[in-house]
Copies of this chain bind each other. A is one copy, B any other.
């Protein structure tokens, strides 16, 4: 894809994608809980399928424009690896958070809930934080490997990974600081107490950095040309 996109277009893609992602995560959580008749596994199955399907759509649609990060941990890793500047990284993160908050508000409006909410759902303790470490470690490892070795499969791989991580981590895998922030402002199925969010976010960044270091040993250094044209 030889086309290039302006900073404005890239930031709009990050914001719009993050909004649709959060609308999907929060909205399907509400719908799942309403319809599942108390069976949490069925509600989480629906939440899982919807999140995976939406990630596939968004990364396929917006990947060629902005790289489809939708995740500050991904953008920070990209900045450390000099794929984007730190200025652009900051702008990406701002766009992601703004978009995520809009997505949460849209989900609340669609389901006739108060737009502004604060989650009361406790998610804390060492096992939860270790879960977020593992979840984000695996996510960044999968992205690093597929971007290098199977670029046509990044969307399917990320979607599949998150679907798996919803179930194999005890925290249901937030694995994304912008998503964590936004979910702290929704007192629904997918919520998290604002006081629990900072530790989640810290664990996510640690997992991302460890994955970046390990994968840089596992993958050969990129040639100049690859670095220039990658995502």
Contact = CB atoms under 8 A, between A and B. Distances in A.
Interface string A95-120: 00000000000110111100000000
A65 B12 CA distance: 33
Contact of A31 (B38, B39, B57, B168): B168
Q: How many copies of this chain sit in the oligomeric assembly?
A: 4
Q: Is the interface of A mostly helix, strand, loop or mixed?
A: helix
Interface stretch (A16-24, A74-82, A177-185): A16-24
A149 B57 CA distance: 12
Interface in A137-180: 138, 141-142, 145-146, 149-150, 153, 155-157, 160-161, 163-164, 167-171
Contact of A127 (B1, B60, B110, B171): B110
A39 B31 CA distance: 13
B56 A112 contact: no
Contacts of A153: 60, 155
Interface in A45-96: 45-54, 56-57, 60-65
A106 B97 CA distance: 31
A12 B218 contact: yes
Contacts of A53: 52, 160-161, 163-164
Nearest to A64: B149
Contact of A56 (B31, B44, B160): B160
A206 to B, nearest CB: 15
Given A37-B38, A39-B36, A44-B35, A167 B50 contact: yes
